[in-house]
Each structure stands twice: as structure tokens, then as C-alpha cells.
Amino acid sequence: MKASLDRKNILLGVCGSIAAYKTAMLCRLLVKAGANVQVVMTQAATSFITPLTLSTLSKRKVITQFADSETAVWNNHVDLGLWADAMVIAPATGNTLAKLANGLCDDVLGASYLSARCPVFFAPAMDLDMWQHPATQANIQKLQSYKNQIIPVGVGELASGLSGPGRMAEPEDIVTYLAQFFRQQIHKQPFKGMSVLITAGPTYEAIDPVRFIGNRSSGKMGIALAEAAKEYGAEVELILGPTHLRPQVAGINVTPVQSAGEMFEATVPKFAKADIAILAAAVADFTPMQTSTSKIKKKGDDEGLNIPLGRTKDILATLGKQKQSHQKLIGFALETDNEVSNAKGKLTRKNLDFIVLNSLKDKGAGFKHNTNKITILDKYDNQQAYELKSKAEVARDILNYLVGLMMKT
């Protein structure tokens, strides 16, 4: 997993306070931690620290106005607001706190703040009495009520010669605060920015327009995995065999399919863009060699019917052959006998990172149930058995196992 500030887009707002000299160090530390830093300054800030200093440190042109006075190019604050993973206003003066608490946007910093969809952090800096004034404290409360985060001020000697609270937090502490925030985000949404491909449900292999060969899979386990992956922050593609069930979490892309052939065609091309693929579908291994276009009629009183069956293409094995080193591939095995050795065989044969074993011998496990009991076997020879749980909990166990594996490798 990436270090928490690596490649994060940070919009660094600078206001007019003597503490702005510390912003140079803050900018440097953020860049050193791997962040992309775009500095936005108020006019007053430019009297305390030059845009040249901050553009040199951030390796980007500093923005001080709505339009660049030399090139007449518009500095789009809406784009800035959308680009940022976090906005940090350091130092945040009493004046800017008051303006932003009330939604004033007469400069590019204020307009970027109002356009930002990302979390916003304020590192206030001002003199003791200004900081303690009820008006400032009311503004701070108002900003917090809008879900902004206030990085606590330091206590000590102030530029005025007074001593007390009001010092801007030290640059190292601001970086630690941000890094911690992003670490928590990773913890809550470990798959943010990743794409997860999931197959679920049964497949129906048509014999004629009314009959098919199918299986008893409901799709519940795969749907629970899709829902959990979405909640973990992933972009989710769910290739879903014939079931009336649908994910209850918004934003999952569902491709309904009927047969193993259709599932193959829908899944394989999507794999190249996926970071993770979890194939939970119960795909038919055999399909009628020919599908009759009209309903097959009975012949004679006791004449049976032979349907020649051919093998379907193995989707999981195909993905196993195409798998790149950055991709993770997970399969399922539903076994009745020699469970562990059969599952291990599939794990190796299909080039999987791990396999989820269900035993039909376990009560409450497998098809149709709302519960499941699984054992995970990974390619490093680890084996972990879980209790009988709801499929939603099992889905989280599977994804948590994957997170653990991704941290290690």
C-alpha cells in the first residue's frame, strides 16, 4: 500500500500572516512526502512570502489571482477544487477564517475553498487576543460544523511579543496530521482508486427456447462481495448470471448475462483494467453442443432424450494466464470431498492469489443460504478457517484477507 501522502493532490492556501514563512517548510515537506502541491495565495500573503519561493518549492506556478495578469489565462478555481484530495490553509488568518465561515469568495483562495469537494484543513495563526475573541471562536465552530478540520494552534511566544495560544502548528505536525488523516481513509476505504471485477450467480445453458441446464447458485455471495468492495472504495464491475437479486449499494456497474459463454465474453475483456478479480460465479462446466431454436417435442411414449454436452471455457483459468504482477485473482471452490487438496489444486492450476473454499458438508454454507462458512487457502501455503457467518460478513472477511495480502506483497 502506498505511503499516505504519496501522489496526493494538496491545494495549499496561504494567507497574510507572519507565520507564512513556515509555509515554505510545509510546502517542502509535503513535496518530499510525494504529494503534488498547488499553492494558492491571498494578496496579503504575498507581502509575507514571495510566490517565487513557493513556486520553486512546489515546482508549480503559484496562483494569486483569478486570472494570470501576464497571460490573461483564467485560473479555474472549480478545477482546483476538484483536483485536490485535500485543501490545507496554512496559515489561516482571523480575516480568512471569518470570510470562509461566511462563504465570502472575493479572492481565488476563497473561491477554491467553496469549490473544494475534498476535506479542508485550517492551520490558524494569529495573536493571542484575536484567537481568543468570541468572534474568531464562533467562526472556528461554524467552519467545523461544515466538516472542516482545525489543526490545533500551538501555545508559546507570538510575533507580537505576547505569549499564549495562536501560533500556527509546526509544519512537521501539519504533515503528520494530514498523513494520519489519509492513513485513516485508507483504513476505511482500502480499495479507493482501485477497480474490482466480480462474477456472481449461476449460468443457464440453453437446451431450447424454454429449457436450460442450470445450478442452484443464488448469486448472494458474489453480490455481497460487490457491495463490500464498493463500500471499501472500489469501482466495481459485477458480471451477474441469471438471478432476480441485485446489489443494494449504489454505484455498482452490473452486466447481466445468461450463459457461461456470455459470462466469458463479458468478463475477460474487463480484466485488463482491473486491479482485483474475484470469480464467485457458479459457472456451468458443460453446455449443450447445440441449442434448438424451437421447443424440443416428445417422441413416442417412452423415448428419452440425449443431449450432447461440450465443455465451457474456464473464465478463471483464462484470467490466471493473463494476470499481471500488480493484479490479484481470487477464485472459489465448492467441494464435497478431499476439499483442501482439491482447492489447492485449483489455486495452483488457475494461478490464483487465494481460493475461497466452501464445503457442501458444512451446514448453512453454499448455495441459497444467507450464511456461509469458508476456509481461505493462499498461494503462500497459509490456510485460515472462519466461523459460519452472514454472507455480508464473509465478504468483508475475504476483502480483509486480501488487504492483508496486499500490504505484505
Q: Which residues contribute to the site for ligand CTP (CB under 6 A)?
A: 199, 260, 279, 281, 283, 285, 312, 314-316, 331-334, 346
CB nearer ligand CTP, residue 281 or residue 399: 281
Is residue 23 exposed (0-12), middle (13-18) or buried (19+ Cβ within 10 Å)? buried
Closest approach, Cβ 314 to ligand CTP, in A, equals 4
Closest approach, Cβ 324 to ligand CTP, in A, equals 18
Q: Which of 9, 215, 253, 342 is catalytic?
A: 215
> For the packed helices 171-188 and 21-32, what is the interaxial angle rounded to 10 degrees?
40
Q: Cα separation of 168 and 12, whole Å?
A: 14
Which H or E element spans position 122?
strand 120-124
CB nearer ligand CTP, residue 38 or residue 312: 312
Q: Can 36 be counted among the known catalytic residues?
A: no
Q: Cell triple for residue 19? A: 507565520
Closest approach, Cβ 312 to ligand CTP, in A, equals 5
Per residue, the 3-state secondary structure of 166-232, as one string, reads EECCCHHHHHHHHHHHHHHHHHHCCCCCCEEEEEECECCEECCCCCEECCCCCCHHHHHHHHHHHHC
| Of 247, 203, 257, nearest in space to 225 by CA | 247
Closest approach, Cβ 388 to ligand CTP, in A, equals 21
CB nearer ligand CTP, residue 177 or residue 286: 286
Q: Are 237 and 198 in contact (CB under 8 A)?
A: yes
Residues in CB range of 12: below 8 A, 6 or more apart: 23, 26, 27, 30, 37, 38, 39, 40, 54, 58, 87, 88, 90
Q: One-letter amino acid identity for 206?
A: A
Closest approach, Cβ 360 to ligand CTP, in A, equals 10
CB nearer ligand CTP, residue 154 or residue 256: 256
CB nearer ligand CTP, residue 236 or residue 333: 333
Q: Which residues are catalytic?
A: 215
